[in-house]
Every structure is written in structure tokens, then in C-alpha cells.
Chains A and B, each alone.
Chain A
């Protein structure tokens, strides 16, 4: 402990010195590295993985960037990486000099593929949040530098990689493509030759929940996708909050109208959105949209979606339009043009935003059942229950046979519809020291009873 403090002290002194240098005009890879590496930290956490039927907790480690006095930004894929939909937990932020701080999850922006953590306690002395420069956007051909973390070192060992902007892509949304191909720099800040922070390296082609996931990923040839500062700045100023529904939705399942399909149906446009189903009670349902409708225009402008990869353009347009906004849609139904006005509502919560409850006696974590669960498990819209998101190995719950992914419908004779119901029943069981509880759960599309025995003598 003493030693840690000493090291912390010396790193602060170093940082103060460097701070003095920030104002100097001269920039370059070496200056970027020396001035900015303090804002690059390692984040560790626990996340669940599934092997066969076994759910295991593994420690994850990712790069993150200090972007506020208590705000840490990291790649959004981290918080969706759980095999069970349980949130990663026990986040720790590792600064230089062996300083470690706990942090809690704030929220994630799906479109930018960025997540945020809130630091518990203050930044170690000398560490300054990185400021992104919203005015500078590099051009094709410009040199860029990214800071990453060397692997397998809890103490951040920052490295720098150099590359170039190689393309400026318009669709499915505007972003810059670089030839930065450094996997250990994912989520790392990207700088231009003048040392200005111009964005973060979001992903390398390949898979991911964000928009650009369909880009690149051919064998061996990965391109680093740059999310520009202009996208990050508003998110840093007002981070997405878990549980706070910010996006709007229509409530349809959809597919792209390709030019071939438009020709087949002899439609007056070459792009649009086919409505494949309408979710009951959704804004689309309220407005009277129907399965088979084809949306050609939104607010008078053509819907520019002519291939499946570009469906997210429409989703983002709707998502960002804002709750309670009215959209004017031009559709084709049964061969004739019609107009439909839809008032958008907040999108249902994602599993990551769902309310959680953890019980210490039963070492069981459950979360609210959300719309995505009902769809994933093919459950009726009026299905009630809560999702088991975590079961500690060797706990009463685990020994009894509960598994992550089970949906609890009843405990003994109590109907379970929300985490609060589980809380009430389990706390009551603790009070009465009940020896055995019978859970009625849904697993893999079939229901069953599971007996959980306690060590209480009641």
C-alpha cells in the first residue's frame, strides 16, 4: 500500500511536468505519446461466457479513455459481450503507477458503439481528461496516431501506432476509415499530426453491434474505423444513462427494398423499407401501418435504403428523430400510394438497460424481462416473468439447478412479474428462514419446476 502511494506520487510529478508541455505548439508522434498517454487506462471487469451449457465468469480487460473528471469512455462492445445478457460487473479502472479505482456502468450509445463508466472517487493526481477537438476532422491521406495498450499488463503500458486516413465513407453513415490495424488500440484515442484528438478507434471491420459492422472484415484485411470527435462530444457532454430511454422507435420489423424488388413490384422508387411485421401497441400499430406496407418517403424525402446493410440508416434516422416527434411517411399499400403520420415513442429498454436485483443469500441476480427477451425466446407479449442474469457457482440457487437465462414465472405460489417481486419473496424467505423454495421457470422454450434448498433451519 505504502509503495503504491509512493509510485502514485512520482507519477503525479511526472504528469505535472508533462502538463507544462501541453501548450507547446510543436506536436508529433513522440509528443502525442508523452502528453496524452496518461488519459489511456485499462478497465477490468467480470463477464459471463457460456461453454456448452456451462456459464462461467471470466475477467475481461479493455482499453478506456479518461474523458471527464469522473467519466471513462470505452468500446461499447464490452457491455454487450455477456453470453447471458447479464451486465459485466465489478468494473475497475487501472491508472498508471498502480492506482486502481472502482467504477460503475453508466450507459451505452448503440449507434456510436461507445459506453461510459462513472469513476468512484477522484482522478489520481496529474491525470487529465482528454478533450476531443470537435472542429478538426482529418481528410483522406492525413497521418493519424492511435494510443493503445500492450496486452497482459494490468498497469497500463501505453503504445502508439501510426496510420493514415484511407477513406471517407458516406453510407451507411458518415465515418472515416483508417489503415490502423491495432487490435489492442480498440477504443483508443486517435490524434492528427498536430496532436488534436479527432476521434476514437471504434472497431476493425468485423463484427460488432454498431453500424459499421458490415464494413470490411474480409480475411486478413482489417481497417480501423474512426468515430469522429463531432459524434463523441455530445455523448461525453451528456452520457447515455442506463434505464433512460432516449431513442425513439416505430415498432416494426423491416427489410430493405432493393431495386430488383422495386422493379418486380413496379414501384415508383428504387429504395425504401418493407414493413415485415408491426409490433402490437407500437407507434406503427397506433398509426395503422400494416405488414406488407412499403415506406418510400419520410418527411417528403426518399428513404435511401436499397440494400440490407443500409437498413440501419433508417433505424438511426428514426432513433434520433426523438420521442414524440411526428413522422410523415409516404407508403405503398396494395399497389396504391398513401400517407401515414406516426408519432414516435421511446424504444423499449434493452437487456443492458433492464432493472436488476441481486440477492446475497441466494447469490442470484435477476433482471427485468424486456421486449428483446420476449422476441428472442418467442414469448407472447403478455408473458410475465424475470430473467435470471447471474447465478453464483456453488450457491443455493446453482445447486438447486437455476441457470442464467432461465425465466422465473413463479416462486412457490407467488407470481413473479418484476425484480421487485423476487426481492419481496426472497427477503420474506430470509425473514422466515424457509428451507426450500420452488421456482417455476421457462428454459429453452419449456417450463419446469426447480427446487432451491437453503441452509436455514426455519
Chain B
């Protein structure tokens, strides 16, 4: 158990009051003890701290634009695996990392998980002669307490090796799951957050939140802008699981049954819920849950062998995370209550799949596209996954001239149906060779089709 901050915190305010009356605290006071612990914790984690500078492509303007961003990271395995945020390095093409000793080296992206906003890099030690960074030790985030003293380390506004200090403001903050990463993916569905008042600024993202023993208890990921000291970290237990899966297999495997749920609080009597349960608020079309006949208003009480309940928002991520952990393609029994009577149904979870497809620049025609995944289909209420999603249209390009717009879905090139990004790429590469000819695309825009005539070599030359 980590030292609790309450009395130490009181000592801190005593310390901050004292210098005005002259002098540092006398040796052996509580303030002195806290200072000693902070130094010790710092020394424990600082060698594992990494400044992460990935080069990230952005396809949203219809062309591939690269920029270098700065974030933070922490070494989690002595072989050189570094955990950072997905929104820092999840799309990176190359990454420069700076270690605690100011040495700079390259890293490669091993994998990322937008749903928890985590990514794993591997440092390339091949040309590195210096001392290798140790792996940081992880703490148990389930054992954290509100008021516990923590420190945030990282590179706020690219100011590397910065340390800020505070307490855990709450251990299980629920943040609405409609938040999206800048690259468009849904995120934050499977975890609650550690809220801290340790200063977290842009650039802190991916850096560790550590306790007074120097153990990583969270990965700093978000902060409220225009607020004072409202920072949010992904709990270490989630980080350990996700980064472990990425290191082992390059990705996190999750299952999906297609239910959206909401807290049962205040609705118990309406749904005659005697023993808790998880209230289904929505069922995704063509999902395992829909095929099994589950409907909004059903109260899930048992999934497999586990009793489930969610009275409060804070319990919702736990349920989603539990369902995601069911084995895909293996039948599971679900017990639910409908109109007061208990029923059971068997369904087979499906693989959750990738959050978003790969990006591709359709240079000669002046736009960018992204592959369509099962998640895109759900997100955009599409009928199926055929076609490619237009992610950007370059100003002044043939595509813009022809009336193409972001969010259009290219369904046909000429008379050929577009099935996948790979097939689209091949079609495009075939067509863009030789003398440019006008090409007719047929796209889906909202609920209607639309023709887009591309005349390459137009006014852009």
C-alpha cells in the first residue's frame, strides 16, 4: 500500500507557508519526509520517461500532409517497448524518441488501440551506445484513492522531462463516450479515468502518472481546456492489459455483440428490476444481439457465468469491457428480463474489428480515401462495407471541380463496383497510367447517390 497523502498534504501547505517567515523546514518534519519521497519516486521513474516526436500524416485536406507532433511516453519493457497515446503516435510513420539522458533514437510503431487511446512503440537500439532505459514499474490502479499524491511526468508544450505534482481528484471519472480522436475514431468506451489536479498540458499526452513509490498508476491523456487542473489518465491496469496485447500480437482483440446500455438508476421500478441488471438502450442493426432478438428495454442480468449490473454511468465501461473480453465466435448464454419475466438466449459475439481503415491518397484525382470497417458501417449508418470513404478533397483539384465532398462513399469507378480499399487502389493505379481520361465516379452521399465526373489534368495542370 502506498503512503496516503492526507497528512503529508497538510505538511505541504505548512511548508509553503514557512519560507515567508524564513528558512526551510527543519530536518525530520513531515514536509521533509514528503520531499524525500518525491525525490525517490522521481529517480525511480525518470529514466523510463521518453519524449516522443512522431511524424504523423494528415489526410483530411485531400492530400497527404505530414507534421511532427510532441508527446510523452514511458518505457514498459526493458527490450525498449514504450507506451504512449494513440492520439500521439497511433498513425505515425516515423518516430523520434528522446530519453531521460537526452539521447535521441528512432522508434517504430508496434500497434495502437484507438478505443483506449493507447499505442506501443519500440525503441531502435541498433545505433545506440548509451545506457538503456529501464522499464517503469506499474502500480495497481484499482487500489488508488482519492487524495493520493501523484506526479505527472512528460513534455508539456514540448518542454521535456517536466514534472508536475498533485493529488488524485477522483479515481473513476466517467467521461461521455461520444468523444472522438482527432483522426476520427471513437474512443474511451472501455475505461473510466483517473482525474488529477497535477498540471497536464498538451504534450503531456502519453506520459506517466506516478505515485509516491514511483510506480506508474496511469497514462496522462486528456485535460479540460480552459479549466484549472482537470487532467485525466488512463488507469494503469487498462494500460497493462492493452499494451501487453499489442506487444504480444500487434493489436487488441475484442468482441462485439451490438448492444448499447445505459445506467439503470431511477428506472428500476419502471423495468421491475429486482436484482439489478444492465439496461439495453439500443441494439445495433444486424448485430449478434439483434439476431438473438434482444431489444431496447431488455435488462441483461447474466452474460455467460457472470451476473452483470450497471446502476451508474461509472459502471458502464466495465460492462462494455467485460463483453469485449468474451471470446469471439464462441456461443454465450445471456439471461435477460423482459416485461418482468426472465428469459435466456444464446448468441455468438463477433470480432470488434478495426476502428478505421487505412488511408490512401488518390493523388492524380485530388482526394484522399479511407477503408471502410465494420465500425465505419455502424458509425455512418451504412448498409454495408463496400466502397471507400472520402476523407478529404484537395482545393482546386479535379475531384473538387467534379463536386466530390468529404464523407462521400465511392461506390463505383466507371462501371466497376468498388469493394475494398485495396481493390480501389488497384483500379486507380490502372486508370491513372497513360493519357488521363475523364472518369465517372458514383458516390453515396447521405441517403442518395451522386455522379462525380473527374477530368484529370484540369485547371490544376
Tell me the complex Cα distance, A264–B270, Å. Answer: 62
Whether B403 sits at the interface, judged by CB under 8 Å, is yes
A261 touches B451 (CB 8 A): yes
A264 touches B438 (CB 8 A): yes
- Complex contacts, A135 vs chain B, CB 8 Å: none
A449 touches B279 (CB 8 A): yes
Known A276-B450, A448-B282: A440·B297 in contact at CB below 8 Å: yes
Whether B281 sits at the interface, judged by CB under 8 Å, is yes
Whether A451 sits at the interface, judged by CB under 8 Å, is yes
Whether B455 sits at the interface, judged by CB under 8 Å, is yes
B447 touches A375 (CB 8 A): yes
CB distance from B436 to the nearest CB of A (A): 14
A444 touches B178 (CB 8 A): yes
A449 touches B446 (CB 8 A): no
A378 touches B451 (CB 8 A): no
Whether A258 sits at the interface, judged by CB under 8 Å, is yes
- Complex contacts, A448 vs chain B, CB 8 Å: 260, 262, 281-282
- Complex contacts, B447 vs chain A, CB 8 Å: 253, 277, 375, 378
- Complex contacts, A274 vs chain B, CB 8 Å: 451
Interface size class of A (residues with CB under 8 A): 20 to 34
Complex interface bits, B111-124 against A, C-beta within 8 A gives 1, otherwise 0: 00000000000000
Whether B453 sits at the interface, judged by CB under 8 Å, is yes
Q: Which of A241-269 contact B (CB under 8 A)?
A: 253, 255, 258, 260-261, 264
Whether A308 sits at the interface, judged by CB under 8 Å, is yes
Whether B381 sits at the interface, judged by CB under 8 Å, is yes
CB distance from A211 to the nearest CB of B (A): 19
Interface size class of B (residues with CB under 8 A): 20 to 34
- Complex contacts, B260 vs chain A, CB 8 Å: 446-448
Whether B267 sits at the interface, judged by CB under 8 Å, is yes
Whether A143 sits at the interface, judged by CB under 8 Å, is no
Known A260-B438, A261-B453, A449-B297: A253·B448 in contact at CB below 8 Å: yes
Query: Most chain-A CB neighbours within 10 Å: which of B297, B403, B448, B450?
Result: B448
Complex interface bits, B438-461 against A, C-beta within 8 A gives 1, otherwise 0: 101000001111110101000000
Complex interface bits, A283-318 against B, C-beta within 8 A gives 1, otherwise 0: 000000001100000000000000010000000000
- Complex contacts, A277 vs chain B, CB 8 Å: 447-449
A375 touches B446 (CB 8 A): yes
CB distance from B284 to the nearest CB of A (A): 9
A447 touches B282 (CB 8 A): yes
- Complex contacts, B266 vs chain A, CB 8 Å: 436, 451, 453
A378 touches B281 (CB 8 A): no
User: Of A255, A260, A375, which is within 8 A of B450 by CB?
Assistant: A255
Whether B296 sits at the interface, judged by CB under 8 Å, is yes
CB distance from A437 to the nearest CB of B (A): 9
A449 touches B262 (CB 8 A): yes
- Complex contacts, A264 vs chain B, CB 8 Å: 438, 440, 453
A374's nearest neighbour on chain B, judged by CB, is: B447
Q: Which of B400-428 contact A (CB under 8 A)?
A: 403
Whether A20 sits at the interface, judged by CB under 8 Å, is no
B446 touches A446 (CB 8 A): no
CB distance from A400 to the nearest CB of B (A): 9
CB distance from B320 to the nearest CB of A (A): 14
Tell me the complex Cα distance, A274–B440, Å. Answer: 14
- Complex contacts, B446 vs chain A, CB 8 Å: 375, 378
6 cross-chain CB contacts under 8 A: A260-B438, A261-B440, A375-B447, A444-B178, A445-B381, A446-B281
A276-B448, A277-B449 are known contacts; what are 14 more A-B pairs with Cβ within 8 Å?
A253-B447, A261-B440, A264-B440, A274-B451, A277-B448, A375-B446, A378-B447, A444-B178, A446-B260, A446-B281, A446-B282, A448-B262, A449-B296, A453-B266
